Structure 1
């Protein structure tokens, strides 16, 4: 189970890292042209803030147990990711994007697995 939780955390960390990099470092005008939906109705500040949160999530899913400092941050980060994905699902549903609702639902399920696994099944240090 420990290996499955590490793999899930790594996959979610890569997703968060890529999303965070794109929202933080790609100019909003270019994001609007690529994405064309939710970013066009949102200011640059909230888009960048979301990107920074995703970068923090990528770090929070992997780094704490590797350095041995506050590994409880992994399930806490996964729980925060669940909340973020609920917001993303609502946003994509309002915009009529069922494929993105499904994709964010998958990310939500992975985050739930990590949170449950690290809080209950296989906590670090147990």
Structure 2
């Protein structure tokens, strides 16, 4: 089971590290032009904050699994990423972007799986 948890944790961290880094590195306009129309509903600062939260969550998922003293960080970061996905689902539902909701729901489930598995181990 530990291998499954690590694969899920690595996948979760990779997705959020890349997504968050993109939100930090690109402007709101560049993100909107690349298909992230939801950025039109947020200020540039909020988009950067969401990106930073995603990057920090990704780091927390990995560090919490690797450093025994920081074992609490993995479930906390995973729950935080789950909260971000709930917000994403609400945002996409308001914009009627149904295909994005499916992706967010999968990431929400993955984040909850990692959080619960890390708490149980």
Length-normalised TM-score, structure 1: 0.90
Q: Is residue 75 of structure 1 aligned with residue 75 of structure 2?
A: yes
Aligned to 2:89: 89
Q: Which has the higher contact order (CA 8 A, sep 6+)?
A: 1
Alpha-carbon shift at residue 81 of structure 1 (Å): 1.2
Aligned equivalents of 2:78, 2:8: Cα separation in 1: 10
The CA deviation string for residues 83-123 of structure 1, in whole angstroms up to 9 with x for no partner, is 11111001111111111100000001011111111112xx2
Aligned equivalents of 1:107, 1:82: Cα separation in 2: 8
Aligned equivalents of 1:6, 1:52: Cα separation in 2: 23
Aligned counterparts, 1:1-126, within 5 A: 1-120=1-120, 123=121
Structure with the higher helix share, 1 or 2: 2
Q: Which residues of structure 2 form unaligned runs of 5+?
A: none
Stretches of 4+ aligned residues off by more than 6 angstroms? none
Aligned equivalents of 1:36, 1:105: Cα separation in 2: 17
For the aligned residues, what is the CA RMSD? 1.2
Aligned equivalents of 1:106, 1:36: Cα separation in 2: 18
Aligned equivalents of 1:31, 1:82: Cα separation in 2: 22
Q: Secondary structure at the match of 1:38?
A: helix
How many residue pairs get aligned? The number is: 121
